[in-house]
Amino acid sequence: MSIKLGDTAPNFQAVSTAGDIDFYKYLGNSWGILFSHPADYTPVCTTELGMTSKLKSEFDKRDTKVIALSVDGVDDHQSWIRDINETQNTTVQFPIIADENRRISELYDFIHPNASATATVRSLLIIDPEKKVRLIITYPASTGRNFDEILRVLDSLQLVDSHKVATPVNWKQGDDVIIPPSVSTEEARKIFPKGVTEIKPYLRYTPQPD
């Protein structure tokens, strides 16, 4: 199965370090991040899970629940978490799914045979409260994820959902945003009281509205 942007993220039941979970029930009405790891006790993954744990307050501020997946078993996960806590100076509090039969990895297209026939690639999905897939990023197993970028995109998605805007290149919280072409300049001046700067009829900026 190939999952694309805008698709409904498929539900699943799984065993995890937090016990048996139903993915939809775990997410509830929150945003969600599901990310896969090639295997337990791998150095890159250890740093990633440590960083995810350290960013808990940032994800909480964004009403976002995180959940990881690896193709090893729960006992290995639990032992690995102790290593992560020790080496990354943190306390992992989110579930890690045990996908030993690779059922969920195949459901979410985390196995790329030309990269590895058995291990998952380093994929990450952002899922909105309607269970729609809003972001897919896939890294090679050798390259760790950029969590500044993940938070940046999450901020952009949540801003875009609450206002009629888009975010320009390298946008970050507090920067000006773009008024999409579907909004006329006349309408934009009413919607965005902070002002509208028109560079071209199709390229117009306004201060971040929230």
Calculate the average pLDDT of the chain: 92
Average pLDDT, stretch 50-67? 97
Could you tell me the CA-to-CA distances from 68 to 36, 49, 62, 81, 97 in Å, in that order? 6, 8, 18, 12, 6
Could you tell me the CA-to-CA distances from 101 to 51, 83, 116, 159, 180 in Å, in that order? 27, 24, 15, 38, 45
Question: What pLDDT shows up at residue 89?
Answer: 97
Catalytic one among 21, 33, 34, 45? 45
196 phi and psi angles, rounded to 5 deg:
-125, 125
- Concatenate the DSSP letters of all residues of 128-185 into one string: -TT-BEEEEEEE-TTS---HHHHHHHHHHHHHHHHSS-B--TT--TTS-EEEPTTS-H
Report CA dihedral (154, 115, 95, 47) to the nearest 10 degrees: -80
Question: What pLDDT shows up at residue 209?
Answer: 92
Question: What pLDDT shows up at residue 117?
Answer: 45
Among this protein's residues, is 37 annotated catalytic?
no
The CATH class given to the 13-145 domain equals alpha beta
Model confidence at 112, in pLDDT bands (50, 70, 90)? low
Say if residue 80's pLDDT is above 70. Answer: yes
Q: 18-23: long-range contacts (C-beta < 8 A, 24 or more apart)?
A: 18/94, 18/95, 21/67, 21/95, 21/97, 23/67
The tens digit of pLDDT for each residue in 128-163 reads: 999 999 999 988 878 899 999 999 999 999 999 999
Task: Tokens for 123, please give them.
Answer: 């994929």
The CATH class given to the 163-206 domain equals alpha beta
Question: Domain locations in the chain?
Answer: 13-145, 163-206
Question: What pLDDT shows up at residue 39?
Answer: 80
**pLDDT top residue among 9 and 102:** 9
Average pLDDT, stretch 156-185? 96
